Amino acid sequence: MTAVRPLRPSSGLHADPRAGRFLGAYLLSLLLHALLLLALTGAWRGTVPREDKPPVYYIDLVHKPVLNPQAGRPEPRLPEQPVPTPPAPVASVEPKATIPAKLATTGKPASKTADSHVSDALRKLRDEQALQQKFAALRQAQTVPMDTPVGLPDAKGNEAGISTNVYVQATIQQNWALSPYVLGDPAKMARIEAWVRITYGKSGRLESFRFEKESGDTQFDESIKRALVKSQQLPNPLPVRLEDVRLIFNLKQLNVLAELRR
């Protein structure tokens, strides 16, 4: 009888010889996480300097135009002036009265008229001094710090805004769209220009427009016409009628050029 070779039964407690390499999977996972971290932090880009973008300025266009947009703004801060020291109180010390020379030479007592003149002058002097003191106190109280918000306490709330021309111009410019593929040539983009005369009624309705000077490019002119048609009715009425105002359309503005270059 041959001896039977004992077979050790498989067990889940022992390492499986067929299990492959868990360590390899672990290293791969570690590598993936490191790559993900690098990608998220942008460290893989190294120290390549970023291209500085030109600054972009945003203008808060208030929809309602006003006649006088500067109203309600604080006065520019004046250089601080030394507060005039108030003169000594005049009530306690009687100022010397200027006696007319005529009276002095005669040595006669001052007449009634002269006394009234003197007392008037003294009263005026006192009033002026009191007024100066009041002004000095007011000036000190109304000195506006640099970080004070724009506006004055007695403003109506509708003072901030833009002029009518700027408002109309901004509205039309917003409605003006031109495909960057139409012109193509940067030199042409820099010199192309068209002049248009427009008339807006007080209701904000475009009453008429005519080309004063065409650009010579049909598509450019058509884009202006489209913008004017879109701007037929302004969002808000105008405070005044805009009569035969010239609008100049060109692409020299930086933002327009930058957009067209994309």
Partner 1 sequence: MELITNAGLVVKLVLLILAYFSVTSWAIIIYKTLTIQRATRDSARFLDFFWAKRRFDVISQGLGDFRRSPLTVLFREVNHELLQSRRAAEGASADALDVDLGEQERVARVLRRATTSETHRLEKYLSFLATTGSAAPFIGLFGTVWGIMDAFHGIGKSGSASLAVVAPGISEALVATAIGLVAAIPAVIAYNHFVNKVNVLIGEMDNFSQEMLNVVQRMPRSR
Q: Is 56 in contact with 140 (CB distance < 8 Å)?
A: no
Provide the minimum distance between the beta carbon of 25 and partner 1 in the complex, in angstroms, as a whole number: 4
Q: Does 141 bind partner 1 (CB under 8 A)?
A: no
- Closest contact distance (angstroms) between CB of 160 and partner 1 is 25
Give the C-alpha separation, 154 to 3, whole Å: 114
Assess 20 for contact with partner 1 (CB under 8 A): yes
Whole-angstrom distance, CA of residue 213 vs CA of residue 166 = 21
**Span interacting with partner 1, options 30-38, 51-59, 177-185, 240-248, rule CB under 8 A:** 30-38
Task: Build a one-symbol-per-residue string for 32-61: x at contacts with partner 1 by CB under 8 A, - elsewhere.
Answer: xx------xx--------------------
Rounded to whole angstroms, the Cα distance separating 219 from 111 reads: 93
Query: Residue 91: CB partners within 8 Å, gap ≥ 6?
Result: 126
Per-residue tokens: 187: 């030199």
CB of 69 to partner 1, least distance (A): 31
Q: Is 262 in the site for partner 1 (CB under 8 A)?
A: no
Contact indicator for 61, 165 with CB cutoff of 8 Å: no
Shorter beta-carbon distance to partner 1: residue 9 or 109: 9
Separation CA 189–CA 257 (nearest Å): 8
- Which residues lie near partner 1 (CB under 8 A)? 1-2, 4, 7, 9-12, 16, 18-20, 22, 25-26, 28-30, 32-33, 40-41
